[in-house]
Amino acid sequence: MHAPAPSGSVADGPPHPTAPHAPTAHASNATPGAPAHPAAADPHPPAPSAHTAPAGDAASADRSAPSPGAPAQAGTAPTGARGAPVQGQPAASAAPPAGVRLDRRAPAEGAGGGDDYPLQAPDPRVAAEPAAVCVACRAGRVDDDGYCENCGHAQPRERDHMEQECGPVAAVSDRGLRHHRNEDAFAVGTTALPDGSPVSVAVVCDGVSSATRPDEASLAASRAANASLLDALPRGTHPQQAMHEAILAASEAVNALAGEQPAEADEHAPQQNAPACTIVGAVVTAGLLVVGWVGDSRAYWIPVDRSPAVRLTEDDSWAAQMVAAGLMGEAEAYADHRAHAITGWLGADAYELEPHTAAFKPDRPGVVVVCTDGLWNYAESADEMAEAVPADAAARPLHAARVLVGHALDGGGHDNVTVALVPFPAVPQGAGSA
C-alpha cells in the first residue's frame, strides 16, 4: 500500500551568539543560576529602502508649491504633497526653501535652464508599517535588536514559547525564567509504514549553552533528524535503524555549522567552540517503541496505570559515568556540581559519535515523554515524572505538555524547558487531543 505523505513541522527563530566553551566536555545549560547573555547587536544593520524618501521630503514638496500669482516657468513641474509631479497644473519658478536640495540637470546648450528632478515619493508599504511597541512599558519603541528604547526591556522572541500539535503528537518549548533566549528545539510528525499502519515521531534537541550558536545547532539537528525519519519509515526502514540514521543526519547538520564560523574563530581554534547540542527522539508504531539519543536529554515511558514507569535513556554525563562505575550513588552524583557536564553531544568538536538506540514492546497503552533536562531536573526519577504527567496525557498530549512545562517553571525554570508527548500505541492520522 502506498504510504501517505509525511507531515510535520519545526519551530525556529533568529540565531544569537553565546560565550565559548571548552572542547573536551560541555557544561550543560541546566545549571541553576547560569548567567544570561544579552543578544548581540547586528553588525550589519539593514540599509534603508530604496523607495523611502529622506526625512522631510513630503513637507519640502509642500513648501516648494507655487505661491499665488507666481509666474510660471516652462519645463518645470510642481510637486504634490508627497513630492510626486502634479499633472495638469502650471509650472512654478518658486525657489525651494533653504536646507532643501533639488538636483538639476545640466542645461541644454542654448536653453534657458535645466529641469528640477521631482522628489521621490515614500513607499506606502514602508510608511504604513507601524513601529513595534514595548510589551513591558507599552510606550517605548522597540529597536532592531529587540530591546525597548524607553525602558530597555528585552522583547519576546519567536522561540521564547513554542507549541505544536501534529495528529496525536504534541510538543511545547519555553525559554524558562533565567535564560535570555530559548536554545532548545523540537520537531514532531506523523506518517505511515508501508503496510499503512500509523507511526508517530518526536525529536527534541538541547543546545549546549557554552558552545557558539547553540540555538542554531538544536534547530538544525531537530530538523535533520525529523526529515530523515519521515523519509525512511515509509520506505520500510526498520524504526531502530531509521533512528540511528536520523541521529547521524542530525550530527552532519550540526557539523556543517562549524564551517560557517567567523573567520577570526577559525583562525584561533578551527574545531574549538563549535555549535553543539544533545538529541533524543522517539518513534512509536502500533506495537513498537524506539528511542535514540546522544547527550543528557531523556525519554520516559509512562503507562496509563502508572505501573511501572521507566526511564528509557541513559545520560552521556559525568554523573552517569560515576554511577555506572560504582564510584558514587545516583543521588550523590547528581548533587555534584559536575553532574551535568556531558560526555556525548552532536558537534564538530565531539568525540567519536556513538548514537544510542533501544527498542521496546510495551504490553499496555501509555505515553512517551521526550524532554530536555530543563524538565527532568524537576522530575528526575521515572516515578516523579509519572506523578507530574496528567492522567489524561495520552488523550490530551498538548494539554499535558503545557502542564509539564508549567511544572518546571513552578520549580524555578532555571533552564530552557522542552517536552514532546507521544501516545502509545500510535494513533491513526486525524486523531488528536480532545
Residues 35-53 pLDDT 10s: 334 344 444 444 444 444 3
pTM to 2 decimals? 0.67
- Indicate whether 84 pLDDT > 60: no
- Indicate whether 106 pLDDT > 80: no
Confidence of residue 118 (pLDDT cuts 50, 70, 90): low
Please give the backbone phi and psi of residue 154, each rounded to the nearest 5 degrees, phi first.
-70, 135
Q: Select the more confidently predicted residue: 42 or 378.
A: 378
Residues whose CB falls within 8 Å of the CB of residue 46, separated by 6 or more in sequence, listed in order? 144
Q: What is the pLDDT of residue 148?
A: 85
User: Is the torsion defined by CA of 53, 55, 60, 62 positive or negative?
Assistant: positive
- When the pLDDT of each residue in the chain is averaged and rounded to a whole number, the result is 78
Confidence of residue 114 (pLDDT cuts 50, 70, 90): very low
How far is 206 from 219, CA to CA, in rounded Å? 9
Confidence of residue 316 (pLDDT cuts 50, 70, 90): very high
Question: Please, which residues bridge with residue 303 across strands?
Answer: 366
- For the record, the C-alpha cell of 260 comes out as 560557517
Confidence of residue 144 (pLDDT cuts 50, 70, 90): confident
- Position 26: which residue type? H
Query: Residue 114 CB: number of other CB atoms within 10 A?
Result: 14
For residue 242, give the nearest of 255, 226, 256 by alpha carbon: 226
Residues whose CB falls within 8 Å of the CB of residue 38, separated by 6 or more in sequence, listed in order? 154, 180
Confidence of residue 26 (pLDDT cuts 50, 70, 90): low
- Indicate whether 181 pLDDT > 50: yes
